[in-house]
């Protein structure tokens, strides 16, 4: 009977096949993957590149560019399998999918049932790429290129991949607890931000820091980079819906709303505090808003997204403009102050503002009478902070012993462009 039915209505069966794979979803996730690539190069590269001195701008562009190359390959070879491969006791993925074995056009329903598994993989690849690139902001202007390379590969393998597995991987132990991280507030921003702080403390200050103000060499680059980050972040956040659906639109709207609120709030805060609203402040605030809305964007309503933007602008402003100066560490480009602090704020606020009315697959937060979710968010935060900090400390010590993390003082003064890359960004004489 069943056999005859199948043969009798081949067309219906064909339609059913087609509905498993959704071309709209696939198109959107592939587009979103390209948008997330745009966040690293040229977005983050120019955001950071403009903030350093002219003698170091190429070193930043090089680091961002090479991370795209290196981590893309790491991801294909074994990174994706460690993060998303078949679960091993909730701790790590096995190497069964190394070299993308079995990761092809057929969907994997554990992650995204309506798009090719390879589309999900490449979307996640762009996240794996940008996360170590965010840390560049902490060690900018004073790290050896070979040490940077080794650190990045080790960090991606031993910090990012396990953490991504815990929070996002099928069977990951934090995922099983029900923690909320829509697009990577914990995995991407808290992990990189905390690691950035540890690195800044271990590396020490740049030569001349505190005695002489270190001015950004090209703020238009920084603003261009911030704008590209904002643009690309729609792929990061709305793409994390892994479908071209209402949830993606919710994440998109929340992302834009929180970012706008944070950019404006930061400018207003410093107008009041320092007498002038600065474009660097507005751009920094916008990035802080993007960071904070990242874990929340698929779980909150737009008015609470606006609130998240305003709150994160206040907290990050205090971290960057007040706390950093008082504590005296040299987080060169505020990777911790924006990503670590902003990611923490976003993760906690997700546990407060999340509501099932927005996303039934999520949970209700503190504001909607659920203490449990907030507790899980705190736990995820503590676990990530402790894990990322300890692992970064160990990796730093290994790389420092093997090659030395920091450039010689003479080379730092000359600049990394000439001493690490043997090229100059700007000619003074033709």
Partner 1 sequence: MKLVIAIIQPHKLEAVKRELEAVEVNLMTVTNVLGQGRQKGVTEIYRGAKEAGGLLNKVRLDIAVNEDFVEPTIDAVTRGAHTGSVGDGKIFVVELAQCIRISTGERGGVAIG
Measured from the CB atom, is 234 or 317 closer to partner 1? 317
Q: How far is it, in rounded angstroms, from Cα 421 to Cα 93?
A: 36
Host H or E run for residue 307: helix 302-317
What sections of 10-160 are H helices per DSSP? Answer: 10-20, 23-38, 45-51, 57-74, 80-84, 117-139, 145-155
Residue with the two structure tokens 């449990």: 372
Interface ranges with partner 1 (CB under 8 A):
213, 215-216, 270, 273-274, 276, 278, 280-281, 284, 317, 320-322, 325, 334
**Minimum distance between the CB of residue 330 and partner 1, rounded to whole angstroms?**
11
Give every CB contact of residue 303 below 8 A, 6+ residues apart in sequence: none
The residue among 279 and 394 lying less far from partner 1, judged by its C-beta, is: 279
Minimum CB separation of residue 312 from partner 1 in Å reads 15
Least distance between partner 1 and beta carbon 430 (Å) = 16
The distance of Cα 153 from the centroid of its chain, to the nearest Å, equals 16
- Nearest residue (CB) to partner 1, 289 versus 351: 289
Cβ-based nearer residue to partner 1, 222 or 256: 222
Looking at the Cβ atoms of 173 and 209, the one nearer to partner 1 is: 209
Nearer to partner 1, 332 or 359 (CB): 332
- Kindly state the smallest distance separating residue 288's Cβ from partner 1, in Å: 11
Q: Which long-range contacts (CB under 8 A, 24 or more apart) does 361-368 make?
A: 362/180, 362/298, 362/299, 363/178, 363/180, 363/299, 365/299, 367/304
Q: Which of 129, 111, 105 is nearest to 242 (CA)?
A: 111
Smallest distance from partner 1 to CB 212, Å: 9
β-bridge partners, 406 = 143
The residue among 72 and 278 lying less far from partner 1, judged by its C-beta, is 278
Residue whose token pair is 């587009």: 31
Q: At closest approach, how far in Å is the CB of 385 from partner 1?
A: 23
Do residues 425 and 49 touch, judged by C-beta distance below 8 A? no
User: What is the spatial distance between Cα 259 and Cα 287, in angstroms, rounded to a whole number?
Assistant: 7
CB of 48 to partner 1, least distance (A): 13
The nearer residue to partner 1, 285 or 298, going by C-beta atoms, is: 285
Q: Which two tokens stand for residue 99?
A: 């070299």
- Show the tokens assigned to 290: 């993007």
CB of 407 to partner 1, least distance (A): 24
For the bound state, the minimum distance from the C-beta of residue 57 to partner 1, rounded and expressed in Å, comes to: 16
Q: Please say which residue, 19 or 276, places its beta carbon nearer to partner 1.
A: 276
Cα–Cα separations (whole angstroms), residue 244 to 95, 241, 250: 31, 8, 11
Cα–Cα distance for residue pair 311/400, rounded to 1 Å: 38
Residue 88 pairs with which residues in a beta bridge?
A: 92
CB of 87 or CB of 334, closer to partner 1: 334
Least distance in angstroms from the C-beta of 69 to partner 1: 30
Contacts of 355 (CB under 8 A, 6+ apart): 299, 300, 301, 362, 364, 365, 367, 368
């Amino acid at each position: 009977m069943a056999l005859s039915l199948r043969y009798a209505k081949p067309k219906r069966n064909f339609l059913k096949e087609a509905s498993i794979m959704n071309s709209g979803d696939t198109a959107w996730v592939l587009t979103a993957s390209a948008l997330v690539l745009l966040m690293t190069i040229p977005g983050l590269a120019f955001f950071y590149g403009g903030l350093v001195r002219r003698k170091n701008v190429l070193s930043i562009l090089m680091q961002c560019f090479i991370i795209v190359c290196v981590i893309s390959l790491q991801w294909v070879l074994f990174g994706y399998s460690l993060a998303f491969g078949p679960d091993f006791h909730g701790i790590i993925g096995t190497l069964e999918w190394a070299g993308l074995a079995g990761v092809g056009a057929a969907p994997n329903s554990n992650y995204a049932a309506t798009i090719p598994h390879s589309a999900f993989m490449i979307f996640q690849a762009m996240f794996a790429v940008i996360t170590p690139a965010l840390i560049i902001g902490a060690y900018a202007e004073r790290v050896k290129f070979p040490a940077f390379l080794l650190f990045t590969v080790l960090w991606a393998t031993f910090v990012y991949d396990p953490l991504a597995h815990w929070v996002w991987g099928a069977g990951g132990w934090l995922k099983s607890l029900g923690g909320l991280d829509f697009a990577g507030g914990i995995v991407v921003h808290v992990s990189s931000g905390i690691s950035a702080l540890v690195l800044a403390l271990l590396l020490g200050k740049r030569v001349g820091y505190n005695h002489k103000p270190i001015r950004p060499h090209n703020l238009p680059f920084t603003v261009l980079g911030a704008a590209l980050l904002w643009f690309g972040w729609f792929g990061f956040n709305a793409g994390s819906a892994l479908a071209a659906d209402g949830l993606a639109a919710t994440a998109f709207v929340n992302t834009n709303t929180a970012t706008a609120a944070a950019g404006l709030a930061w400018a207003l805060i410093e107008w009041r505090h320092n007498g002038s609203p600065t474009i660097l402040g507005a751009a920094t605030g916008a990035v802080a808003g993007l960071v904070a809305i990242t874990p929340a964007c698929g779980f909150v309503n737009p008015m609470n997204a606006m609130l998240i933007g305003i709150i994160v602008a206040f907290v990050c402003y205090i971290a960057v403009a007040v706390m950093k100066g008082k504590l005296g560490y040299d987080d060169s480009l505020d990777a911790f102050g924006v990503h670590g602090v902003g990611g923490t704020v976003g993760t906690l606020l997700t546990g407060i503002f999340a509501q099932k009315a927005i996303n039934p697959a999520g949970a209700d937060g503190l504001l909607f009478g659920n203490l449990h979710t907030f507790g899980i968010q705190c736990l995820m935060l503590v676990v990530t902070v402790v894990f990322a900090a300890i692992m970064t400390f160990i990796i730093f010590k290994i790389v420092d012993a093997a090659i030395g993390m920091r450039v010689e003082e003479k080379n730092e003064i000359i600049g990394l462009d000439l001493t690490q890359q043997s090229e100059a960004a700007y000619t003074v004489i033709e």
